[in-house]
Structure 1
């Protein structure tokens, strides 16, 4: 019991480790949510790592998911792949099955980057389906109706 008490006292008396400091990626100016970051939007600055990015290449070309203030460290959770399709955007829905190919107009219910699965409403039938965002902004739909 004494050794346990002594160990607890020693652990509580040990100073906490200093935060790890290194060059981190920060914003150079105010950045609104949804902005795709370019080289002029970021800086490298010495600061606490605390989960912030240290490679500017990991931030350039990515889209912000929240507003960032000047000098704010940029963490991976602050960024996403840029959306090709935005919510309520008119899109071309394409259904392909073997030699059969059907295309029609739809409205995106979600935003998404290339490869993301989103919900889309067929403007003619008002049916909602899921589809994959293609690099050209069209939606490759499955046959599942919601």
Structure 2
């Protein structure tokens, strides 16, 4: 990041006082509006000068790559870590395929997710055939796995 310092001297007749403009820093900002849940790529960023106070906490485009917006993000705004989340492969209320695997045995059934998350995250699901709530682990998009109990 480059730091630009500038100062403006404002002088009125009979009075002297200086007004200092805030320092600016080259900051990665969004070039378009990103909706909640939408994935972010390095191409969504441009570098523009912003006051140092605004640039504080902004993350680099490469750090944001592959993550998704945790809320609606406006164009021209820097992105902070709290604005991003890892991609959700299962969302709350979504239909899922529940798989139970034990050795050579594999059973699948339809279900509904009670919470969301990314690959490898624990999630609670309801089996539509038995109406039982189960603890599962997210395997992929709309797919969860339960262990034999």
Shorter-chain-normalised TM-score: which range?
0.7 to 0.9
**Cα distance per residue 1:2-28 (max 9 Å; x no partner):** xxxxxxxxxxxxxxxxx9864333211
More strand by share: 2
Structure 2's unaligned 5+ residue stretches are 1-21
> With structure 2 as the length reference, what TM-score do the two structures score?
0.72
Number of residue pairs the alignment of both structures matches: 125
The equivalent residue for 1:44 is 47
Query: Is there any run of 5+ residues in structure 1 with no aligned partner, and where?
Result: 1-18
Summarize the alignment of residues 37-76 of structure 1 with structure 2, pairs less than 5 Å apart: 37-47=40-50, 48=52, 49-53=55-59, 55-76=60-81
- Please list, as runs of the form range in 1=range in 2, the aligned pairs for 1:1-146 lying within 5 A after superposition: 22-47=25-50, 48=52, 49-53=55-59, 55-142=60-147
1:58 aligned counterpart, secondary structure: helix
Query: C-alpha displacement at 1:40, in angstroms?
Result: 4.1
- 2:25, 2:134 → 1: CA distance? 47
- Structure 1 residue 140: deviation in Å? 0.9
**What is the TM-score with the length of structure 1 in the denominator?**
0.73
> Is the Cα contact below 8 Å between 1:31 and 1:68 reproduced in 2?
yes
Post-superposition CA distance 1:55-103 (Å, at most 9, x none): 2111122100011112111011111111122222211111122333221
- Residue 6 of structure 1 is matched in structure 2 by none
CA root-mean-square deviation: 2.3
